[in-house]
Structure formats: C-alpha cells, structure tokens
Amino acid sequence: MAKNRPKFVTLEGMAILKAVRGTRDLLPPETELWNQVEATARAVFARYGFGEIRTPVFEATELFARGVGEETDIVSKEMYTWEDRGRADSDKGQSLTLRPESTAGVVRAYIEHKMGDAGMLQKLFYIGPQFRRERPQRGRYRQFWQIGAEVLGPAWSGADSPLRDAEVLEMLATFLNELGVKGWRLALNSVGSSTDRPRYVAALREALAPVKHLMCEDNQRRAETNPLRVLDSKDPKDQEIINGLPKIADYLDEDSREHFAQVKAALDACGVPYVVEPRLVRGLDYYTRTTFEFTVPDGSGLGTQNALLGGGRYDGLSEMLGGPKAPGIGFAIGEDRLILTLQAQEGETAAKKLDAFIAPIGVAVNPAALALAQELRREGLSVEVGDGSFRLKKSFDAADKLAKRMVILGEDEIASGILKVKDFSTGEQIQVTRAELANALRC
C-alpha cells in the first residue's frame, strides 16, 4: 500500500481523485505477499480436499437479512444496499447488497445448485473482497478481503460431525504455521443448538431486564430484540454488566455438550492448542454449537483489530434460507489483517529481483532487444528491457534496481553473437554466447 499518499491537491483547478475512504490500492511489491498467501491457502486447502467456489459480489439484500440476521451490526448498520431499478417501467426493482461476508452466498449457491443431492460432503473455499460500512482504521476497511472455507452437506454426509469442526481448526493451525504466523491464539466456545439457544436467550433476557436501562442505547435495544448480541458489545461501560450475565455453557443440552467435548478431544489428539472462552458468541446470527476466533498478540501490526479470523458452525442456515437441512461449519480469514501481521512479524520484504535486464545500445537495437527478451521469457526467465535511447549509465542504474544481471546488447554483440553479462551481486562481467545465455542468467 502506498504509505505517503499525497495530500488533497488541485491541479489547474481540478481535484485529484483518490481511492474512497476505507478502500485502498494494493501495489507491487506488496501484492507479491498477497499472492504468496493465497498460493499457500490454495495448496493447504487442496490437501484437505477443498475446491474453489466463486459467488457474485452482490446478492439480494434479503439473503443477508435472513442469513446473517437483521439485528446484527453488519445487517443493521454496515451494508452497502441499493434499489436496483428495473430496465423497463414494467420491470420490478430489487434491493441488492454488496456482500458483507460470503457464507450466506455459499449456502445460497449450495441450495440453488442442489449440491447436497449426491449426499456428499461439500468442501468449498473462496478468496475475495467483502464490503462493510465500518469506521476505517488500521486493519479495518470498507472493502477488505477474506480467505474463507465452508464444509456442509446433508446430515448423512457427516457434515454435523465434531470431527469436521476439529479438521477445519487443524487446517487453520497448519495454514498459519506454514505462513510463519507467530503467537496465534485459538479461542473456542459452543453457542449451543437451536433448542439450547431459546432457553439461554430467555435467561439472558431475564438477567438483562433489571439492568438494561444502565446500558448504552444499542444494548438497550439489543436486550429486547436479540439479547445474544449484547454479549459481543464492545462498549467499555457495559462490560461489568456483561461479565455478570449467565453463561451459555450452563444451558447446553447433553448433545451439544457431547459435541463440544468431541471437538476438544479431536483437537487434543492433533495437538492444536485452544482456550475455551465462554463469551465468544460472534457477531452473526447463524452460528450454532462451535464458534471460534484466532487472534494474534499485541504488536503484530493490527492495532485494536486483533481478530485474524473467525468462524463456526451454522447447522440451521440452509433451512433459514429455504433450503434442505444441511449442517455446516466454516471460517473466514481477514486477508488484509493476515498480511499486516506477516509484515509486522517478518518485516517488509524486499521486492524480488528479475533474472535479467537487457540494455540495448542505440535505438536501432530495440527490436533485437525485444526479440531477445521474448526468447528468454519463453525459456522461463523474468526479463525487463531498457531502451536504446538510454545512456549506458541510466540503463545500468535501472538494471541494478530491478534485476540480478544486465545483458548488454549493441551492434557488435548482435554481429558476434557474444553477449556481455554484468552480475550485480559479484560485480563481475562475463562474456557468453547466445546459446549459453539462458543458463548463465539462471544460475
């Protein structure tokens, strides 16, 4: 990302346009790290049998209202929603929304394409931008990227097995370790099944009734409409009351308790460390049973936004969207936050140098220089070409910045077929034939 953005200036009376607040341009060489992270995700997820799904970046607003929940911050405050006009007067308009997350869209696609009909477990991953109208700060953007995955299927596919929860968590631990993320912490909880929830919500309502008037306006409203959301309120003044509220663990039925115990046992068997956090309910309404978050220690480049990723089980989501029963579990990694963490923990990585810079001597040599670059690129080398109008000093400086070696190409070199290659790491200059050139640049 460009660090020192120019101040707002006008040029000949024209305002200079900048990226919209909360959005940003990702530029080389930083994008190399993004690609590396995404390549690692693809490689790791493939080992666990995941295939890629790409869903649209906008969906019907109703999908998020029904899936994520009307009372969540995401749906009530943060969505980019617009009324899409019909093209003809007779066409009805439709309310559309830029996706604030991808789980609802993936489950919509699962239902629409009858992906559960074959009875197989579906293991799907995605990488793409999401949109939330949040207050921008370090690690929090209005367009941000997620790398996510979902495992779902009919109950007889084993989609509701605690083994799936543990497998997803173990995969995440493997992914973060392969990237070299240091000090990650997995916080785990169970928010119970659809039958545990109403009992817990009733208990919360009862506990909130005598104290809610002391809480912030948002929490007063949530205490009425969706008391679970009070638990993930960040309002510092309300934390004391929140700490005294009943805990979901005391309201889990036998099945949910057993499910959670088996998730933990499988994690123990795989050696994945975790901490049980009874108040982790997460900010989306579709969660049932297992919920989790991975955080990184202070000083990892995220400021106050230390949640690297989050996820959980959503056994009733498909039915909430009008589909068949299809229990599932998934996660989404904040890719922007993952990159910030890697940069803070490893230091900025220098741009990777190209294999060669071709310096044509004189504009008449430009066509031959381009043809040589074409041949070397076909042989798999990364190559930049200068311009015959450059003085040798200018070519030299550009080459030194961009490449490991410089190839000098003048009329003499073309006539003799012997090329001069300057190696910037040793300072040596050697002469090679055209046939030897690719190998000389490769070593």
Interface with ligand HAM by CB under 6 A: which residues? 101, 103, 132, 134, 139-141, 144, 146, 148, 150, 283-284, 307-312, 314, 330-332, 334, 336-337
Contact 144, 334 (CB under 8 A): yes
Minimum CB separation of residue 95 from ligand HAM in Å reads 21
Phi-psi region of 289 (alpha: psi -120 to 50; beta: other; left: phi over 0): left
- Residue 283, CB-side half-sphere exposure with 13 Å CA sphere: 16
Contact 170, 270 (CB under 8 A): yes
Please identify which residue in the block is written with the tokens 């499988």: 266
Is 155 or 438 the residue whose CB approaches ligand HAM more closely?
155
Minimum CB separation of residue 419 from ligand HAM in Å reads 49
Is 162 or 310 the residue whose CB approaches ligand HAM more closely?
310
Minimum CB separation of residue 70 from ligand HAM in Å reads 16
Minimum CB separation of residue 127 from ligand HAM in Å reads 12
CA angle 433, 435, 440 (to 5 degrees): 75
The CB density around residue 231, as the number of other CB atoms within 10 Å, is 20
Is 279 or 434 the residue whose CB approaches ligand HAM more closely?
279
Is 125 or 357 the residue whose CB approaches ligand HAM more closely?
125
Is 158 or 303 the residue whose CB approaches ligand HAM more closely?
303
Minimum CB separation of residue 352 from ligand HAM in Å reads 26
Minimum CB separation of residue 169 from ligand HAM in Å reads 12
Enumerate the β-bridge partners of residue 418.
433
Minimum CB separation of residue 311 from ligand HAM in Å reads 4
End-to-end CA distance of the chain: give it in Å, rounded: 32
> Which tokens hold the place of 396?
């030299």
Is 157 or 295 the residue whose CB approaches ligand HAM more closely?
295
Contact residues for 334 (Cβ-Cβ < 8 A; gap 6+): 139, 144, 145, 146, 305, 307, 308, 309
Q: Residues, the chain, total?
A: 443
> Which tokens hold the place of 139?
């690690």
Minimum CB separation of residue 395 from ligand HAM in Å reads 42
Is 196 or 335 the residue whose CB approaches ligand HAM more closely?
335
Q: Measure the CA dihedral 372/374/376/378, to 10°.
A: -150
Is 167 or 336 the residue whose CB approaches ligand HAM more closely?
336
The CB density around residue 347, as the number of other CB atoms within 10 Å, is 8
Please identify which residue in the block is written with the tokens 């008391």: 227
